[in-house]
Amino acid sequence: MVGIVSAFACANNEIASIAWDIDGKIDGCLGFEVTRVYLNPDGTVALRNGVEDRVPCASWVAFKGQRNPHWLPQHTGIWPIQKLTWRDVTLRKRRDQLARRPDEVHVRYEIRAVGDFRSDLPPAPDPTPRVVSVTKRDAQGRPVKDDQGNRVKVDVKAYEGAPRPLSYLGPAISTNAILVTRRRGAFQSTFTNGILAAQWLSNVLLDDGKIEPDELINKISDPHDPHRKYLAGDVLPLLHELFERPGEFYLALYELDDRELLDLLMTHGARIHLILANTAEEKGVWDVRNASARSALVAAGVDIQHRMFNNTTQIGHNKFVVHVSLDGAPRSVFTGSTNWTSTGVAGQTNNALLIEDGAVAGVFLDYWKRMKLDALPIPDPLGATMKDSQQGSTFRDSNVKVFPAALANGATVDLWFSPNMRGRAKGQKTPPDLSDVYRRMRLAKDVILFLAFYPGQSGKDCIIGEAVDIGLKDPRLIVSGAVSSPQAMPNYRPRKKNDPDDPSDDETSDSPNVFSEKNVSIVRAAKIDDKQLLGDFGLEMLAARGNVGAIVHDKLVVIDPLSPECTVILGSHNLGFKASYANDENMVIITGDREIALAYAVHILDVYDHYRFRAVEAELRRKGRKGWSGFLDTDDKWLDGYVAHEKGALTRYFARG
């Protein structure tokens, strides 16, 4: 009997990714029901109120002929999943309340094919829509209020249209058990939830019927706003926990304007040693974004060195913290892509990693000390242009070599720092850190996954172009990734030649959303911007303030995450030549730790899959072609591409586990 032959789940501290494979066409299959099953540590099913703790995964997309006007979820046995993979986005993040589910839990998933109801097959859940209470709205979408100012509630069906009864087409297949945690050996890995182009967030902002100017940026800038905490995930709690440890802290930061994080530094000011770089120029003045925090820290007597480049060539792009215990020994280091800004913690996709290893922390501390010795002239005033300000040759030369470390579990960590080239501006020679990265990419056997902000224009002189070249030459290799800027896409063609390293360069009117060739698939961040084209989906925002700023801000590469020789590349480094030539940066390369590789792979898959759907729809519209209807298909033809292996290569890779 044709059916599901393999299923695999993996997770980080936020999201689970589930993939399964089939051995042929399942006749009449309208999709799959997915159920989350909570487990005890010994693998037995956990009980809640005396019954097995099983949570049906939720779906928001209705069948053709039905409508979901209030964007309410249904059981996936009612609105099934019409693909062979699923992101469990509600594993930690509820959609009906802001309280997050706990981590440190064991779960597995059960996948079961469903089709139209047949009396000789077990029935799926009753599809009769329940009656729910929703806010009454006027023709403009504004809430209707009574004489006391309270919102008027009305009872409606959870969805519109005729229910479609379904039956199970075969038994459920279980995945492996997984642990939802941020703690993996020497690492604590965390990820922001800053995907703003999302239906739930649009509904939050439109709750009062309109979106005010700067409403979203104001929300994520407010330390007490519950949606900010929701979007920031575990990154902020991890930083708070880190600074509660006794000892001292050595920081190198690029941007600092978040009120909560500034307060954290002020609270622990007597134990802080900070190198703070400058932010960009605004109306002829440099460092406007950092100026307020810088002044507050100086007034509080915090030990701070001003690293002011104040030009368009160099930036101090680090965002790391080294913890040194009371005995003077380096203990841990916090690094990643997350800037200490409101958008960094709650308005972009970002990652943060705490490495609990004294040797690794010691290497970072040595780099911090070398940076401090490489003091720059202090402009007067601080916002004045310093066109010749750059790192010294001694500091550059000290970063040319790799700094290796071995972990207790057998994994290795290789550390690179920048700048590590003598030339001030980007040259043609491949820097040593990227040579190491490219070498590892060329050794990939199955998969290269990545997320990038803007490492280089048209994918040149960066990991994007290298990944494309490797993937097109090796048809067995799967290359998938997402980028933030249209200028970073390999098929981007500028209308005019300006600064090739400036992501604010003017977009061409024919800017691509997708690069898809053979086994290589790259998408850029996109949003739903025409509610007439996608059924019940509503309009979305892409960034916290209009469409300005980074959207995908991660700098990540994961190679062969299922392999014992897996590799994760992360840090502040933008993964292009310019970062190595011009910027203060750090890059962490972890080899041989499958758990951390899968945690980062789940994050990449989450971001890639979310934006891939939107990018494909935007690309079809750009070309004047019809896209997806926004509704589930009502026959089994949707499965044909998977059966013929015309689609789903990445899914099949993960399904084998």
Compute the CA torsion angle 437, 443, 445, 446 (nearest 10 deg). Answer: 20
Query: Taking all residues of the chain, what is their mean pLDDT, rounded to a whole number?
Result: 93
Q: Which residues contact 80 (CB under 8 A, 6 or more apart)?
A: 30, 31, 32, 33, 59, 114, 166, 632
pLDDT at 495: 67
Measured from the Cβ of residue 255, the count of other Cβ atoms closer than 10 Å reads: 23
Three-state DSSP state, 106 = strand
Segment 460-496, tens digit of pLDDT: 999 999 999 999 999 999 999 999 989 999 999 876 5
pLDDT at 498: 52
Q: pLDDT grade, residue 423 (50/70/90)?
A: confident
pLDDT at 509: 44
Which pair of structure tokens corresponds to residue 121?
């097959």
Structural contact between residues 231 and 194, judged by C-beta atoms closer than 8 angstroms: yes
* Mean pLDDT of all residues in 621-635: 89
Residue 162 clears pLDDT 50, i.e. is over it: yes
pLDDT at 207: 82
Q: Is the preceding peptide bond at 127 cis, omega within 30 degrees of 0?
A: no
* Mean pLDDT of all residues in 256-261: 98
* Mean pLDDT of all residues in 309-321: 97
User: Minimal CA–CA distance to 33: which of 115, 90, 117, 93?
Assistant: 115
Q: What's the CA angle centered on 628, arms 9 and 32, to 5 degrees? A: 35
pLDDT at 595: 97
Could you tell me which residues are beta bridge partners of residue 322?
Answer: 250, 333
Domains annotated on the chain, with CATH: 4-126+162-180+639-655 (no CATH), 183-620 (3.30.870.10)
Could you tell me which residues are beta bridge partners of residue 85?
Answer: 19
Measured from the Cβ of residue 625, the count of other Cβ atoms closer than 10 Å reads: 8
CB neighbour burial string for 382-409, b if at least 16 within 10 angstroms, e if fewer:
bbeebeebbbeeebbebbeeebebebee
- CA–CA dist 486, 76 (Å, integer): 35
Segment 272-297, tens digit of pLDDT: 999 999 999 999 999 999 999 999 99
Segment 510-567, tens digit of pLDDT: 679 999 999 999 999 998 877 666 778 888 888 887 656 789 999 999 999 999 999 9
Three-state DSSP state, 586 = strand
pLDDT at 505: 47
Residue 555 DSSP class = -
Segment 178-199, tens digit of pLDDT: 999 999 999 999 999 989 888 8
pLDDT at 496: 59
Q: pLDDT grade, residue 254 (50/70/90)?
A: very high
Which pair of structure tokens corresponds to residue 334?
């916090």
434 or 209, which is more confident = 434
**Percent of residues, the chain, with pLDDT higher than 90:** 83
Segment 13-54, tens digit of pLDDT: 999 999 999 999 999 999 999 999 999 999 999 999 999 999
